[in-house]
Structure 1
Amino acid sequence: LFIIGSASVTWKCHVIVLKTTCSWMCVATVGFLLFLAVCLLYLPDSVSQSFASTAEKSSEVTLLIWTHPFSRYRRLPDCQALYQVSGCTLTDDWRAYPHADAVIIHHREIATNVSELPPEPRPRLQKWIWMNFESPTHSRGLWRFEGVFNLTMTYRTDSDIFGPKPRLVVWVISNWSESHARVLLYHQLSRYVQVDVFGRAGRPIPGDSGSDSLVRLVSKYQFYLALENSQHTDYITEKLWNAVLAGAVPVVLGPSRDNYERFLPPEAFIHVDDFATVRELAQYLLLLRRSPARLQRHLDWRRSYRVHQPSFWAEHYCTACVAVKNAKGRTDVVTDIANWFQS
């Protein structure tokens, strides 16, 4: 009889006869090992739970949020309650720095001021995580951080920690008219996928409603509806470029695909004319959300191109100045302006 706590375990021992060359010490050793194995098998729950508790503690981690993104305080989540992630402690208290397993550092707050990084030397085995969900166009000072971080967390599928944009489709619209083809498209598309609408015809744009606020809003989504209010040759407005700058894939309605390909590579956008029905378009967007590798095909072109967005209206005035200089001494006139522009 062997007693552990209040639990009792009884067993019979059967020792196999060994070769005569084995001494009684060998038999005793084998017997002890059998005894120990049986004890471990019959440990009571209270003892086995303490072993499990020790194992769980070894897998617990503390993550320090060094700065809240864009300097806006947000209450830290309960990972267990929201996502069933156990053993994770989140804190924004800098006093936890010496014993934190990792520090999450948002790029915007350190982009122009390296001194905002945590102090060196960092604690042994501590990881620094570079977090950035802005597009490269809006990520200044990247060259400053070569060899600084241990892990990356971005919207790119080849990040160490892949963080896809949490929302699917967004549309920003001010001029709403039921007679517009884009409004009809919205009504049909919203039957199959969630479309968040902002602008005068929807929810207010967070922030000051300037171009930067718009790009920040769109950057939270995977797809942006760049739908023109009318379809004409080369009539492609800032809607397209806001999506590109934000790192979202534009879903376009406007001139033909060939027309858009004068300005962007074929894979840089999704044209509604590529699909027989709006339902097929919706199914494709959902497919891309489930397949990061497929989605990446619409983003890889960015490695070979950069986007220049003219500044309204200053750059236009200066471009006109160059044209006037080139036409100096000539007074040609434009004929058939209406037919040309409407063609």
Structure 2
Amino acid sequence: MRTIFLLRSRQRTKCIGFAFIFFIVYVYMFLWTSQELQPQISDVEAVHKQNIIDISGNIRSPVQDPVLKDENVTFQVHPEDPAGYFVGLHHSNFEKIVNPPGHKPTILIWHPPFGSKTNYLANPEVCGGDVDCLITYDRNLLNDSGAIVFHFGGARREAMPPFRKPEQLYLWWTGEKNHGSQLTEFDNFFNLTFTYRSDSGIYAPYGSTNLILQELREANDLDLEALLEKKRKSGKIAAWAVSNCGVHRRMDLAKSIMNKGLQVDTFGRCFGGRQIGAGTYSASFYEALSSYKFYFSFENGYHCKDYMTEKFWFNGLRSGAVPIVHGAKKEDVAAVAPKNSFIHVEDFDNVDELVKYLQYLSNNETAYRRHLEWRTWAAHPELIEERLKPHNRDNDLRSFCKLCRILQEEEEADRQGKKRRQMIVPSMNEYWWKMENPECLNG
């Protein structure tokens, strides 16, 4: 009897034990399921506490669904980074700081272009109005910077800053065409492009009509008659400076023109290293070039969108030597330059016709003068073509001035309690490569 009692007792104990284990499992499953049913609450709280930034520049939590939304922030796990390998360091304070009126935003250049720390400015003297920002290369100011600019030469995923604040703008910057940058890793990463192309978030051309006119005023280079007299006395026809000798298309064109008998003085490494004046953009540089009637503004790219460099803007227009344009499309040049201010190679069926026209202009000052009439706009702004007047050419504002103004506008939106504009480049590869002219990529 005692044996039977002990057996039954053990069975009851065993049943109770199983029941307890089942209860624990049930409670655990209930809690786990509840957690899964409320990801927007728990995950947003986790994000606000940890403030982790993923490779696409969005705030994320290690346990969130692929897309979760808050009033002001998009939360997203980057599909190529599910484990958070490229997640940045924690930032100390998620709460956005609203800067007071008159605050001076900071623009940090993360990678100096080709190692050169040019002194860029964005202040009322340079930009006009109340545009005023600090532009710096000091990475210690990362936390205080409203925009971080990455030059393409150093823009690599592993070279990014250790953390990213939600309100910071990231910009991809280049002044070079058709370079071999690998950009697929930067989908949904940059807020704005910063290039010479007019379809950029920040349009940063090498020059502009209004900038050239401003420089002419500052240099007091306003006398068209004196410029024409200098050319008459010199008897010089055309100049060309080039140091990249490997662009065969333009080298072949220049040689063809010279072989047809046009007088051309050559400079640069491709022609013995001969220098113009005391060096590029010195007073003597412009003085020397101004004695020529023409300058070969031959770019190292062919039909690259909006690619007009210093060869056109400064060696040509600014100096007073009429630019003969090759490389840029005529419609791209005509969109930003004064009418009749340049001669485009593609307006002629062959080199013979081009050379004959240049020789005609060299011997007919009345006809040649038409290509320089626009320079009188420097002293008489009322004569500027309507399409090129400053109020119609907001894009002529210097590029860092444009960026500074955007930062000021975003800070003002913060002060007024408004949402900031959503700015993102979904695909850098699509923008830089697929939206470029095929001739540029193949040339």
Q: Quick one: higher RCO (CA 8 Å, sep 6+), 1 or 2?
A: 2
Q: TM-score, normalised by structure 2?
A: 0.39
